[in-house]
Amino acid sequence: MPTHFADRLAAAVRTKGNPVLVGLDPRVEQLPDALKPSDPTEPASVAAAYGEFCRGVIDAVAPLVAIVKPQSAFFEALGRSGVAILLEVIGYARSRGLLVLLDAKRGDIGSTAEAYAAGMLGERSPWGADALTVNPYLGDDSLAPFVSTAKDRGAGLFVLVKTSNPGGKTFQDLTADGQTVYRHVATLVESLAVDTVGSCGYGTVGAVVGATYPEQLAELRAAMPHSWFLVPGYGSQGGAAADVAAAFDASGLGAIINSSRAIIFAHARKDYAGRFTPGQWQQAVEAATREMIDELRAGTTAGKLRQA
C-alpha cells in the first residue's frame, strides 16, 4: 500500500469501488435492544456496549467500504472507560483492513497542537488514527503542527471549511476582504493540499464540506482541486446523491461521503420495518450500506470506481 495518506485513501476507495464513509456515533438509547447495557447510567457498562456495537458495525461494513469515522465525543463523554473503548474500536477497525478517520475536531496552537497531533495521528501514535478532523479558526499556525505530523507519519487531515449544520453560516458565511470566511479557509487548505500532493493528485490535507449546501460544495470543488473532501450531511441530515455529486472528480475520486445514523441504526428505520428481526441489526447495517453505495454509484461519478 502507498505510504502517502491521499494515495492510500484513493487506493482503498478504488478497491472497494465506492466512496462511502461509515460514521461510528454510538448512542445508548438507540442501540439494538440486545446490546443495551443493564445500567445506562454506568459509564463502564455503556462503554462496553459501545465497543460491542461498534465492532459489530465494523464487521458488517468492512467488506463493503474503505473507511470508518469514530466520533470521539460519544466515547469521551463516558470518561476513561469510553476513551479506552475508542482506542479498542480504532484498533479493531484497522485490524479489519479499514482506514480510520478520527472525528475529534482538534485545534490549538504551539506545543498543544503538537501534542494533539502526536497523540492521535498515524499508525505509531497512541490513538492510531489514519486521519483527523481539525478546526482552523485559530489560524494558519494552528494547523502547521498537524500538517507536519501528518506528512511525517503518512496520515491525513480534514479541515473544517463549510460545515453541514445550519448555524455554520454564523461565521463561515461572513465576508472579509471581498470573500466569505469559508473561501479564505478553503484557499489556505488548498495551498496545504498542493504542498502535500500525492501521486493520485490529492494532498494530505483535505476539507470538511457539508452535503447540505450543494451550491457551495460545487463552488469549493472548483476552488480546491487538490483537496479530498469529507462530506457530512448525507442521509439523516437530508443530503442525497444529487447533493454530493459535485464533490467528485471525473473519475469518481476526491470525496468520501459520510453517513452515520442512517446506517448504524438502520434496524430502527421506518422504511426497514418488517425487513429485519431485532436480532438482525447487523444485516440492516449491511443493507443500508449497500443501499447508499448503489445510490452514489447511480447518481454521481463514483459509479466509475467499479471500472477502475
Residue 219 has pLDDT above 50, yes or no: yes
CA distance 195 to 79: 38
Tell me: pLDDT of 99 over 80: yes
Class of residue 108 by CB neighbours under 10 A (exposed 0-12, middle 13-18, buried 19+) = middle
User: pLDDT tens digits for 51-87?
Assistant: 999 999 999 999 999 999 999 999 999 999 999 999 9
The percentage of residues in the chain with a pLDDT greater than 90, rounded to a whole number, is 91
- Residues 246-288 have pLDDT tens digits of 999 999 999 999 999 999 999 999 999 889 988 999 999 999 9
pLDDT at 28 > cutoff 70: yes
The domains found in the chain, sorted by start residue, are 5-307 (3.20.20.70)
- pLDDT at residue 308 greater than cutoff 50: no
Tens-place pLDDT, residues 102-156: 999 999 999 999 999 999 999 989 999 999 999 999 999 999 999 999 999 999 9
Mean pLDDT over 197-220 rounds to 95
Residue by residue, DSSP assigns 175-238 as EETTEEHHHHHHHHHHHHHHHTB-TTS-BSEEEEE-TT-HHHHHHHHHH-TT--EEE--BGGGS
CA distance 160 to 16: 26
Q: pLDDT category, 239, cuts 50, 70, 90?
A: confident
pTM, two decimals, is: 0.96
List the catalytic residues: 105
